[in-house]
Chains A and B, each alone.
Chain A
Amino acid sequence: MGELVGATIRMTAPILLAAMGGLLSARAGVFNIALEGLMLVGAFAVIAGAQFGGSTAAGLVAAVLAGAGTALVFAFVILRLRADVIIAGLAINILALGLTTFLLKLWFGVEGSFTSSDISGLPTVDLPFLPATFFLNRLSVLVYVAWILVLLVSWFLYRTPWGLTLRAVGEFPAAATTAGIDVRRVRYLAIAASGALCGLAGAQLANGYLTGTFTENMTAGRGYLAFTAVIFGAAQPLLVLAASLLLGVADAIGVRLQLLQIPVPAEFVLMAPYILTLLALWLTSVVRNRSGRLPVDELALSEQAQEAP
């Protein structure tokens, strides 16, 4: 049981980090489906940075910068060149997959996977009051960052003037413009922050547990899981946390069904979060249609991004 909780915590961390990034850009009115690609770039950069920069810290910096930099390209394409948000996001994912695989071969001379014993894992937090082998002890520092981030983002959104600005831009860009807010700049910043957090998510994935390894397409849909968590959690920090945990639990249980002797095929456990999201999505639209309240439809969000002044 402890092992399962530990695995859940580990599997949730990268999803949660990326989901917080997705939340920020969703709140700015940009539907960021590029989380997958941004995370993959981060995973590659943390390994490349550590290898060439000579330290784990260099890897982390590289991951954050690469994530934010790629996100800025995405932002430029949708905000300046007015590309469609969804298509551009998918394109960034493909580009990230292509470039990381290309560079893996070019820089490390391998296909598939690169592991270096020179790269030490991310620093772990040693809690002295817990036994060393306890499942919640000695987790990567980014696991703690992910959880603290939920509180930080929540505080930022609802308790700071910048958070208010961000929400205004997402919910009613025209009014934000009238109030003197530079909508486009806020969106650039939100997307860049989103990329930086995805960089951390990728770093945790590649270098957060045991040895540092980058594998071709190693995110394997986790960015889409994070995206799902943002939608399922209606872009509310605590709900997104709950959704991320649900996804993490499904992930952790899915690979351990036989050990746990649960007579359900793993695929159905892995499928469950998507079905739940679909259900939540449908219920939301039913309620919205009935009450006629403000339709902060995700589709509208994505379209508004193009209408930035």
Chain B
Amino acid sequence: MPAAALRRVARQVGRQLAVIAVALAAGLVILGVSGFPPIETYRVMATAAFGTGIGLANTLRWATPLILIGLSVALSFRAGLFNIGAQGQFFVGAFAAMVIGLGLKEGPPVLVVPLGFAAAGAAGALWALLPGVLRAYWGTNEVISTLMMNFIALQFTNFLVRVPYNEGGSTGQVLATATLPPALRLATLVRGSELTLALAVALAMVVVAAAYTGRTTAGYEARVLGANAYFAENGGVNVRATIVTTFLLSGLLAGLAGAAEMYGPIGRFIGGLQEDLGFNGVVVSLMGLNTPWGILLSGLFFGGLQNASQQMRLLTDVPRALVTVLQGLVTIAVTAQILRVSLRRPRTPRGGQQGRTERMGEPGRETQPVARSGLS
């Protein structure tokens, strides 16, 4: 790697670390004001998440879906598309994995499990297809459409759990499907922890995503689209196809996260499970500078936080909601910081062959460089 590029990476990493430090410092203040020992609390949490073998294994367990969802978000962010629908794509993916797993209970695991992952990926991609097509052909705002798709997915899977798949799993208020037979569950990697082979899927996807964005034409075109949509259009990138492909891949990764949870640690679909995963994926992606390897690291960090929050009640008197507070603080810090530096939200032309600027005949309003340099 050339020295200049290395320096740039070092600077970005340093900045992200500073961002975490600021957010954690704010957390210290909150703890102090609330009358808890701040440093001690952090020490206990860090030990719980990273200090022991089991702790580390469970951190990796929580990092697994976060990495997959983070990659899903990053693919769309890099193309300048704001897919916040990972949550819904995760729901339908997880459910599709259960449909395969419960439907082929007796089948050979070497076939059923991969089939389940494939179905989950396909379901996630399908769920992302509609917002993608609407965006590509009519310029429909993907932030709102993917948000709507999240709520639709939640209700849809709630219905599936409550009616056609309501066999044995539900107790009281909790609606759940039956549990997958042990033969179909991925192997536990560290005894006494919840870490399963699902981690390998996440790691493999990091490598695949890195290869896709760094070494393929399609990945390159998506990046160009994100960096400068007008350049992409004039440079011969098929904008519509790139938008749709990006949504499909993004949905596929979120769907895989669903299968990873089902065949991995959870084993059954619970209505509305892990409903903050989609948002946490956004944070993981931003923290990781929207790059696959960065996401691997930030996934570990947030996996550790998640793991610590699971154990908080046993370890300290501090409410476990502290972790949620920290997640919010890190997000604010990272978005306030990152946009000024590297992730200035790129804009894409809305479908058609012309960007809307030309169509509107008022270049000053929509053309970012003019507006920015003129006003700031």
Assess A106 versus B319: contact at CB under 8 Å? Given A81-B336, A94-B331.
Answer: yes
Residues of B within 8 A of A306 (CB): 339, 345
Contact B321 A98 (CB under 8 A): yes
Chain A contact residues: helix, strand, loop or mixed:
helix
Contact size range, B: 35 or more
Mask of A76-108 contacts with B, CB within 8 angstroms, 1/0: 010001111011101111111111011011100
Query: In residues 120-154 of chain B, which contact A (Cβ within 8 Å)?
Result: 134, 138-141, 143-145, 147-149, 151-152
Contact A294 B163 (CB under 8 A): no
Residues of A within 8 A of B134 (CB): 281-282, 285
Chain B contact residues: helix, strand, loop or mixed:
helix
Please tell me if A292 contacts chain B, counting CB pairs below 8 Å.
yes
The listed residue (B143, B158, B279) touching A298 by CB distance below 8 A is B143
Residues of A within 8 A of B155 (CB): 267-268, 270-271, 274
The listed residue (B145, B347, B372) touching A278 by CB distance below 8 A is B145
Residues of A within 8 A of B352 (CB): 289
CA distance A169 to B338 in the complex (A): 26
Residues of B within 8 A of A270 (CB): 155
Instruction: State the total of A-B contacts with C-beta under 8 angstroms.
Output: 176
CA distance A292 to B319 in the complex (A): 53
Please tell me if B105 contacts chain A, counting CB pairs below 8 Å.
no
Residues of B within 8 A of A309 (CB): 375-376
CB distance from B186 to the nearest CB of A (A): 30
Please tell me if B159 contacts chain A, counting CB pairs below 8 Å.
yes
Contact A297 B148 (CB under 8 A): no
Contact B325 A95 (CB under 8 A): yes
Assess A298 versus B375: contact at CB under 8 Å? Given A90-B279, A174-B364, A267-B155.
Answer: no
Please tell me if B191 contacts chain A, counting CB pairs below 8 Å.
no
Contact B321 A105 (CB under 8 A): yes
Nearest B residue to A95, CB-CB: B328
Contact B336 A82 (CB under 8 A): yes
Contact B141 A299 (CB under 8 A): yes
Assess A90 versus B331: contact at CB under 8 Å? Given A102-B319, A295-B360.
Answer: yes
CB distance from B291 to the nearest CB of A (A): 17
Contact B325 A282 (CB under 8 A): no
Contact A231 B325 (CB under 8 A): no
Please tell me if B212 contacts chain A, counting CB pairs below 8 Å.
no
Contact B144 A101 (CB under 8 A): no
Which A residues are closer than 8 A to B by beta carbons? 31, 77, 81-84, 86-88, 90-99, 101-102, 104-106, 111, 172, 174, 177, 221, 224, 228, 231, 265, 267-268, 270-271, 274-275, 277-278, 281-282, 285-286, 288-289, 292, 294-295, 297-300, 302-303, 306-309
Task: Add 5 more A-B contacts to A174-B365, A285-B140, A309-B376 (CB < 8 A).
Answer: A86-B82, A87-B286, A94-B279, A106-B319, A267-B155
